[in-house]
A and B are shown apart, each in its own frame.
Chain A
């Protein structure tokens, strides 16, 4: 179960399933998964981009796979995160998700995060200036 081929398949599936982060295109978490997956023979998708933008940064030494059980434990941890195991185990009550001091806080925040990568340069500037003035 923990031989290199199955581990490579697991890493490939993890890379395809991991959620994309539009707000941080230059710092994807999948970089860390690829770092390990390289040792099992997977071809990196983002390596070409990263060498273009960050030549000066030192990258870590190539990963050396250790004990098979340790590798499997790491893959398992990633799958647990993808399945929202901890979120489902510690579900927050509605009082926490709509806090008294500002019931719309998290909803507005999620809307802003959705909108932010799509803003043009000008509208981003205008919004920045709008935030500097206390309207209420």
Chain B
């Protein structure tokens, strides 16, 4: 397991752009075959992750399948070995492929809810808090600007969980031997990213406090899985209630139109994922399209109930 302790010097280095790339390159593991060790990959910094992936390509040459046109190892011999391994012993190599691809997929999940806390970059900056002591950040995008969510850790987690849930529905459709590592690695990457976020932006140097936040987040993740599964199978009304309880924290004043847009967005993206081939999703290149605001046209269509002034047939 990676160390839980982050000294002040490290966290200062992590938050400074110039220092990040050299630190990340140095900490990358060199050998592919032993059990993958979790490492601190700073999915929060786009510059760092782009440069680190370049360095990774040059260093290890860990491969995706040659046919999928993924990263290729440097020498022809290594290419032969890796493609042979993947062909003949897929259960051995699948977990490594999953580990790399889910890292990229998780970055895509966390992209919509991305936020920063500018005050934490300064040495003595004080992070702004709301009346409950929750750190407030600055974020762009539909979720923060249109829906009006506060850019904080909890909302980032919920937005990320929503997108991870959609991917999990797709991963469940893989054969059992593949579904397990893919789901496992995606979840692991999510919580590595969450912990990185707490260290870098929220300046949480105490591992015990970080653990408290991460445990809460994990409990929420399990709740999200149950609630969204129930909503997916049962009805739009149940899915809307699940989104209200999880993403909107069950608060009383809700914009129902925006809630319907979120439900429409979720169903649209899940359908798109379900219909996508394995090649489109499992290379890590999957991108979520648009945001719930694009569902505006559908929510403005008059419902049958209002058209006919009759009660719609209630569905359980």
Using CB atoms and an 8 Å cutoff, list the residues of chain A in contact with chain B: 10, 13, 17-19, 21, 24, 27, 29, 31-32, 35, 59-60, 63, 72-87, 89-93, 95-97, 99-102, 105-106, 109-110, 113
Interface string of B175-190 (1 = CB under 8 A from A): 1101110000000000
Chain B residues, Cβ within 8 Å of A100: 172-176, 179
Is B267 located at the chain interface by the 8 A CB criterion?
A: yes
Tell me if B236 is interfacial: C-beta within 8 Å of chain A: yes
Q: Name which residue of chain A comes closest to B305, CB basis.
A: A79
Of A72, A87, A97, A113, the contact of B236 (CB 8 Å cutoff): A87
Interface residue SS majority, chain B: helix
Which 9 residue pairs are nearest across A and B when measured between Cβ atoms? A101-B179, A79-B303, A99-B172, A77-B260, A90-B271, A29-B241, A79-B305, A90-B267, A74-B256
Given contacts A76-B302, A95-B274, 16 further A-B contacts (CB under 8 A): A29-B237, A29-B244, A32-B253, A35-B252, A60-B251, A74-B256, A80-B298, A86-B263, A96-B274, A99-B169, A99-B173, A101-B174, A101-B178, A102-B172, A109-B230, A110-B233
A89, B305: Cβ atoms under 8 Å?
no
- Indicate if the CB atoms of A93 and B257 lie closer than 8 Å: no
Residues from chain A with a CB closer than 8 A to the CB of B234 are 19, 110
Residues of A within 8 A of B268 (CB): 86, 89-90
Distance A49 CA – B288 CA, assembled complex (angstroms) = 41
Chain A residues lying within 8 Å of B302, measured Cβ to Cβ, are 76
Q: Chain B: residues with CB nearer than 8 A to chain A?
A: 169, 171-176, 178-180, 226, 229-230, 232-241, 244-245, 250-257, 259-260, 263-264, 267-268, 270-271, 274-275, 298-306, 311-312, 314-316
B271 touches A27 (CB 8 A): no
Among A19, A76, A79, A95, the residue within 8 A (CB) of B235 is A19
Asked if B230 contacts A110 (CB within 8 A), the reply is yes
A-B contact count (CB 8 A): 166
Query: Chain A: interface secondary structure?
Result: helix
Nearest CB in chain A: distance from B136 CB, A? 18
> Are A95's CB and B298's CB within 8 A?
no
- Interchain Cβ contacts under 8 Å between A and B, 9 examples: A13-B305, A17-B314, A63-B253, A73-B257, A73-B300, A74-B256, A76-B257, A86-B263, A97-B233
Closest chain A CB from B130 CB (angstroms): 13
Given the interface pairs A32-B244, A82-B314, A90-B268, the reply to whether A19 lies near B274 with Cβ below 8 Å is no
CB <8 Å contact, B303 and A76: yes
Decide: B176 and A101 in contact? CB cutoff 8 A: yes
